[in-house]
């Protein structure tokens, strides 16, 4: 049986290991003391609270299908219904339904919302009268602001589109690629004609939740995938070098001061772009240069547990997003207990997200300062809130790759260069999207690449859960094999993801 080493124990790498079960002898190496990357759930005031991603994209199937395949189907939950709300111009304002990442198909629906000024709304109405040649698919990449600013006006971009993209990428609309960050809008732009008219004429989508959660937190997913994969999963193991020899890969490792080497037939490099670049520098310099050019944003999540009766004081909805032009510390807030309905009768948990691309100082502040700023913004937006029972600050340095203009070209180049090396595949948040579903999809694709197959298990016909044997201890001195019971806490509570946890 072929030997495959997956470098990186985030959800993308674990998905690759799961997809290779029964076809290869798989070892997963994770530099941090825990698996899961940005998926981590730990107790706050006695209840499980996600420190990173708190939902799975349901409009694309990969993450939800994987959760079902590894035995978590019974824990999947839809969020409470609620509108998209923006904290804009000093008030919480509801974005009318029907938008595509903030782009409204009908300017009339914005009247009376206060989301745009009279001048901004008038400029938006001009869109359908503007010349609209097709955006060439093979032409230069353009930023979100450059294209949508020309179509909708800059105010609409800053007040409507930017806060939604900021909630996903923590990016800057002047740098984010239209094609990479807003693919559906770019596809409409490629046809030419009015963008707003095209949005109104789209086929109606069956009503369903855009995201789903896991009762008990998304941190359940990586441990369940690791268990079902049957792979040997080792934490606290850094990969220091990769070398290709005749017919095999040599993976240099370090555990504390101890060093070692693994031999494998194939490697899945499932680490963030900034960690992959140095490992590829000697093997595939073009790939290393392309990945090294990917910028990353630092972010932080402040979770606050309030007394249960604070729930009644919160405004309607599940939370709100904040345009960067507002100059606030937070970029989003989620009323977590209300959104997911758990735990019943427990504290009222609210999460606030901080940090955007270009904000270099967010992680330089001490925890108490970040927590105070988040609480001040929450009180300014949502009204009086009592003193929290507990507060937790989670830092994610270089946590989100930036899908800037030229991003697709860079990552395609990296994948093509890697493909020239037999038995090497790349996956993670830099390639197909930053969400959990996109990371899972990239892991499944990487598994098929190293397995030599041309087709993947269909995302809607994933095989059922395959019982796996946790991990095999005793591989190398100092390495910590991860024992992953079906629904237990992931070992370790590091303050952030390891460099191989993406």
pLDDT confidence band for 439 (50 / 70 / 90): very high
pLDDT confidence band for 136 (50 / 70 / 90): very high
pLDDT(119) > 80: yes
Could you tell me the sign of the dihedral formed by the alpha carbons of 82, 87, 93, 96, in that order?
negative
Q: For 235, how many CA atoms within 13 A lie in the half-sphere containing its CB? A: 25
Which of 145, 147, 149 has the alpha carbon at shortest distance from 124? Answer: 149
Average pLDDT over residues 441-452: 95
For residue range 241-285, list pLDDT tens digits in order: 999 998 899 999 999 999 999 999 999 999 999 999 999 999 999
pLDDT(395) > 90: yes
Q: Which helix (H) or strand (E) element contains residue 438? A: helix 436-451
Mean pLDDT of the chain, nearest integer:
89
Location of structure tokens 């409470």: 80
Residue 117 CB coordination number (10 Å): 12
The pLDDT value given to residue 488: 27
Please spell the DSSP secondary structure of 131-155, one letter per residue. Answer: ------TTS---BHHHHHHHHH-HH
Instruction: Tell me the CA distances in angstroms from 104 to 61, 116, 152, 325, one per residue in order.
Output: 25, 12, 10, 19
Strand, coil or helix: what is 7? strand
pLDDT(483) > 90: no
Q: Are the C-beta atoms of 429 and 8 separated by less than 8 Å? A: no
The Cα–Cα gap between 459 and 89 comes to 43
Any idea which of 62-66, 419-423, 441-445, 464-468 has the lowest mean pLDDT?
Answer: 464-468
Residue 344 CB coordination number (10 Å): 7
The Cα–Cα gap between 502 and 500 comes to 6
The pLDDT value given to residue 486: 31
* Higher pLDDT, residue 447 or 461: 447
Instruction: Tell me the CA distances in angstroms from 363 to 173, 304, 318, 442, one per residue in order.
Output: 22, 18, 26, 29
| All residues at 6 or more sequence positions from 49 whose CB lies less than 8 Å from its CB, including other chains | 41, 42, 43, 217, 303, 305, 336, 349, 351, 392
CA dihedral 183, 185, 186, 189 (to 10 degrees): 160
pLDDT(21) > 70: yes
pLDDT(462) > 80: no
For residue range 195-251, list pLDDT tens digits in order: 999 999 988 777 788 999 999 999 999 999 999 999 999 999 999 999 999 889 999
pLDDT confidence band for 481 (50 / 70 / 90): low
pLDDT(437) > 70: yes
- Reading the block at residue 247, the tokens are 């017919």
Q: Is 137 exposed, middle or buried (0-12, 13-18, 19+ CB in 10 A)?
A: exposed
The pLDDT value given to residue 209: 87
- Reading the block at residue 380, the tokens are 């300014």
């Amino acid at each position: 049986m072929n030997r495959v080493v997956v470098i990186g124990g985030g959800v993308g790498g674990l998905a690759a290991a799961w997809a290779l079960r029964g076809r290869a002898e798989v070892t997963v190496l994770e530099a941090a003391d825990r698996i899961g990357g940005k998926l981590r759930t730990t107790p706050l005031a006695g209840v499980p609270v996600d420190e990173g991603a708190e939902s799975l994209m349901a409009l694309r199937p990969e993450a939800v299908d994987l959760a079902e395949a590894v035995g978590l189907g019974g824990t999947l939950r839809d969020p409470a219904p609620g509108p998209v709300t923006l904290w804009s111009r000093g008030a919480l304002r509801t974005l009318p339904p029907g938008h595509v990442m903030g782009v409204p198909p009908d300017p009339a629906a914005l009247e009376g919302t206060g989301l745009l000024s009279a001048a901004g709304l008038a400029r938006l109405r001009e869109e359908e009268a503007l010349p609209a040649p097709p955006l060439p698919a093979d032409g230069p990449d353009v930023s979100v602001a450059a294209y949508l600013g020309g179509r909708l006006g800059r105010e609409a971009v800053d007040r409507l589109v930017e806060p939604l993209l900021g909630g996903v990428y923590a990016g800057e609309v002047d740098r984010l690629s239209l094609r990479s960050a807003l693919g559906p809008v770019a596809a409409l732009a490629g046809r030419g004609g009015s963008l707003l008219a095209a949005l109104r004429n789209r086929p109606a989508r069956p009503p369903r939740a855009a995201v789903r959660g896991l009762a008990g937190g998304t941190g359940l997913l990586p441990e369940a995938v690791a268990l079902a994969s049957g792979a040997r999963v080792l934490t606290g193991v850094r990969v220091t070098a990769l070398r290709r020899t005749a017919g095999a890969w040599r993976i240099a490792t370090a555990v504390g001061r101890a060093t070692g080497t693994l031999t494998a037939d194939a490697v899945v490099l499932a680490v963030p772009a900034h960690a992959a670049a140095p490992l590829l520098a000697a093997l595939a310099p073009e790939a290393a240069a392309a990945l090294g050019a990917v910028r990353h944003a630092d972010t932080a999540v402040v979770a606050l547990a309030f007394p249960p009766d604070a729930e009644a004081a919160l405004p309607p909805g599940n939370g709100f997003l904040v345009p960067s032009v507002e100059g606030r510390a937070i970029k989003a807030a989620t009323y977590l207990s209300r959104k997911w309905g758990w735990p019943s009768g427990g504290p009222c948990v609210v999460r606030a997200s901080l940090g955007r691309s270009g904000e270099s100082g967010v992680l330089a502040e001490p925890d108490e300062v970040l927590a105070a700023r988040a609480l001040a913004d929450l009180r300014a937006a949502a009204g009086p809130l009592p003193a929290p029972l507990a507060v937790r600050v989670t830092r994610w340095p270089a946590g989100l790759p930036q899908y800037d203009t030229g991003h697709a070209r860079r990552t395609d180049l990296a994948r093509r260069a890697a493909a020239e090396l037999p038995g090497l595949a790349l996956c993670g948040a830099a390639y197909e999207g930053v969400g959990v579903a996109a990371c899972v999809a990239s892991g499944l694709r990487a598994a098929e690449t190293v397995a030599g197959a041309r087709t993947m298990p269909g995302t809607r016909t994933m095989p059922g859960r395959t019982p796996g044997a946790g991990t095999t201890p005793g591989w190398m001195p100092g390495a910590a094999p991860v024992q992953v019971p079906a629904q237990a806490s992931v070992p370790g509570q590091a303050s952030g993801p390891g460099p191989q946890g993406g």
